């Protein structure tokens, strides 16, 4: 007589616990760009709703407007084991607003989406490195301002934070030694609180002996994925892996969104010193990328479709750069390590440069003895907590009744 009542209660409780109303109010808004204040409010809301996974920290305050440079750590402390660190930053350049949206989307997807990154990696996300420049340009629509708002000696305003890093800082060909220039590198390396905060975080992560993957978000005239070495134009030691991964991610973005991303070492930036990308590489972060989103929207495109398309491309790029860094590659082919946690469609990819059509369907794990059930369960994403809670309750109820 009691049993059905208990069971219904158990089901109702399990349901309530996986659909908190906060989740609904924490949907990402893609119809316009986030202002600094909205971003801050969104980060607070998310970190309240996902206390166990999100830690919000102020890394620095800007000199002029006293805004916070936030670091959002997304991790799952319930799972131990060595984890990689994925460092993602956005809006180092003030007028590159879409990058902040992409960073927020990454945070949102990591805590609500269908992926298992947090089992193997901790994420460190800086959704707005240059809030002063961002807030200065956002109301002006098509503004070219990239710098922060620091007054320089001589009265010119602003330092380009992506010329302020301590690598090839003084060797420069793009007028970054002129304080009026949009590329002004600052009075000395890491003179700015924003760039110093990011550099210190990179150092902290590399010292922690974690393997670090760095992805810096920008906008450019063309959608692309860049990797070091920007300054020298010479291939890095691991150029082949970087090139492979950039090509892999750009193919994935294309397959998922039909948007084309070029990849390579940007010749246009030869002679550009002080970038965060080269600095990261020099510190020992050998997996380092700039993910660049192309042209701002055309006149015939609505802002909300532009933002949501870019957000999808951006997450696709970040996702696959990060995911690719976990894959074992041999002769251009992904080897399975039988941990059964990879995406279904990652079974095989064509070697870079190969045009041969490959089967991208579900017949993966040929060389791997993963149990299909386990794989299904782990890719079932949102059902997992439900099944978990449900079976725990069921066990508890049966135990109570039987005793």
Ligand X SMILES: *[C@@H]1O[C@H](CO)[C@@H](O)[C@H](O)[C@H]1NC(C)=O
- Provide, rounded to whole angstroms, the least separation between the CB of residue 38 and ligand X: 5
42 binds, among ligand X, Zn ion, none (CB under 5 to 8 A by kind): ligand X
218 binds Zn ion (CB under 5 A): yes
How many residues make contact with ligand X (CB under 6 A)?
22
In the list 115, 177, 191, 257, the residue contacting ligand X (rule: CB under 6 A) is 177
251 binds, among Zn ion, ligand X, none (CB under 5 to 8 A by kind): ligand X
Tokens for 66, please give them. 């006293």
- Tell whether the torsion through CA atoms of 171, 172, 175 and 181 is positive or negative: negative
E strand map for 231-327? 262-264, 287-293
Q: Which residue reads 């893609």 in tokens?
A: 30
How many C-beta atoms surround the C-beta of residue 391 within 10 A? 12
218 binds, among ligand X, Zn ion, none (CB under 5 to 8 A by kind): Zn ion
Cβ burial of 181 (10 Å; 0-12, 13-18, 19+) is: middle
Look at residues 104, 95, 215, 222 and name the one whose alpha carbon lies nearest to residue 161.
Answer: 95
**Residue among 118 and 243 whose Cβ is closer to ligand X:** 243
In the list 15, 114, 140, 173, the residue contacting ligand X (rule: CB under 6 A) is 173
Rg (CA), the chain: 23
248 binds, among Zn ion, ligand X, none (CB under 5 to 8 A by kind): ligand X
The stretch among 113-121, 126-134, 137-145, 238-246 that binds ligand X (CB under 6 A) is 238-246
25 binds ligand X (CB under 6 A): yes
Q: Is the peptide bond before 229 cis (omega within 30 degrees of 0)?
A: yes
Cβ burial of 142 (10 Å; 0-12, 13-18, 19+) is: exposed
Convert residues 66-105 into a mask of x (bound to Zn ion by CB under 5 A) and - (unbound): ---------------------------x------------
**Residue among 122 and 323 whose Cβ is closer to ligand X:** 323
Tokens for 216, please give them. 């810096």
Convert residues 319-358 into a mask of x (bound to ligand X by CB under 6 A) and - (unbound): ------------------------------xx------xx
CA dist., res. 277 & res. 159, Å (int)? 17
194 is catalytic: no
- Provide, rounded to whole angstroms, the least separation between the CB of residue 173 and ligand X: 6
The stretch among 233-241, 279-287, 363-371, 375-383 that binds ligand X (CB under 6 A) is 233-241
CA dist., res. 11 & res. 61, Å (int)? 47
Convert residues 26-55 into a mask of x (bound to ligand X by CB under 6 A) and - (unbound): ------------x--xx--x----------
The single-letter DSSP state of residue 319 is: H
Contact 99, 82 (CB under 8 A): no
Distance of CA 15 to the CA centre of its chain: 31
Enumerate residues 6+ apart whose C-beta is below 8 A from 24.
none
147 binds ligand X (CB under 6 A): no
Q: Name the active-site residue from 109, 292, 313, 323.
A: 292
Pairing of strands 328-330, 287-293: unpaired
182 binds ligand X (CB under 6 A): no
237 binds ligand X (CB under 6 A): no
Look at residues 25, 31, 68, 14 and name the one whose alpha carbon lies nearest to residue 50.
Answer: 25
The stretch among 157-165, 185-193, 240-248, 272-280 that binds ligand X (CB under 6 A) is 240-248
Enumerate residues 6+ apart whose C-beta is below 8 A from 401.
2, 3, 6
93 binds, among Zn ion, ligand X, none (CB under 5 to 8 A by kind): Zn ion
Contacts with Zn ion, residue ranges (CB under 5 A): 93, 218
Active site residues: 292
Contacts with ligand X, residue ranges (CB under 6 A): 25, 38, 41-42, 45, 173, 177-178, 235, 239-240, 243, 248, 251-252, 255, 265, 349-350, 357-358, 360
């Amino acid at each position: 007589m009691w049993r059905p009542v208990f069971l219904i209660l158990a089901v109702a409780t399990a349901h309530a616990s996986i659909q908190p109303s906060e989740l609904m109010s924490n949907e990402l808004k893609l119809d316009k760009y986030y202002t600094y204040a909205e971003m801050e409010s969104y980060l607070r809301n998310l970190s309240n709703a996902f206390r166990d996974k999100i830690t919000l920290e102020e890394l620095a305050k800007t000199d002029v407007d006293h805004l916070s440079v936030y670091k959002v750590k997304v991790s799952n402390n319930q799972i131990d084991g060595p984890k990689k660190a994925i460092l993602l930053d956005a809006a180092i350049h003030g007028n590159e607003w879409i990058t902040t949206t992409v960073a927020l989307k990454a945070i949102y997807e990591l805590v609500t989406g269908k992926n298992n990154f947090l089992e193997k990696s901790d994420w460190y996300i800086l959704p707005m490195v240059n809030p002063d420049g961002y807030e200065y340009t956002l109301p002006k629509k098509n503004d070219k301002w990239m710098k922060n708002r620091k007054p320089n000696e001589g009265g010119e305003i602003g330092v380009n934070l992506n010329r302020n890093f301590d690598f090839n800082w003084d060797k420069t060909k793009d007028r970054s030694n002129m304080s009026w220039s949009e590329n002004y590198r600052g009075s000395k390396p890491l003179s700015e609180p924003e760039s110093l905060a990011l550099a210190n975080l990179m150092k902290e992560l590399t010292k922690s002996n974690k393997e670090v993957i760095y992805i810096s978000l920008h906008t450019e005239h063309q959608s692309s994925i860049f990797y070091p070495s920007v300054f020298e134009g010479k291939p890095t030691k691991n150029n082949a892996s970087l090139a492979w991964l950039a090509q892999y991610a750009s193919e994935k973005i294309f397959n998922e969104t039909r948007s084309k991303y070029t990849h390579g070492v940007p010749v246009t930036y030869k002679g550009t010193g002080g970038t965060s990308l080269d600095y990261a590489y020099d510190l020992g972060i050998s997996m380092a990328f700039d993910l660049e989103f192309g042209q701002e929207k055309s006149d015939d495109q609505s802002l909300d479709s532009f933002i949501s398309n870019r957000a999808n491309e951006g997450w696709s790029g970040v996702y696959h750069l990060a995911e690719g860094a976990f894959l074992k590659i041999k002769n251009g082919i992904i080897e399975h390590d039988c941990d059964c946690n990879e995406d279904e469609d990652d079974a095989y990819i064509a070697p870079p440069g190969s045009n041969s059509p490959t089967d991208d369907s579900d017949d993966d794990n040929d060389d791997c003895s993963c149990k299909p059930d386990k794989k299904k369960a782990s890719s079932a994403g949102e059902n997992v907590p439900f099944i978990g809670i449900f079976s725990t309750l069921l066990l508890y109820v049966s135990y109570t009744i039987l005793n």
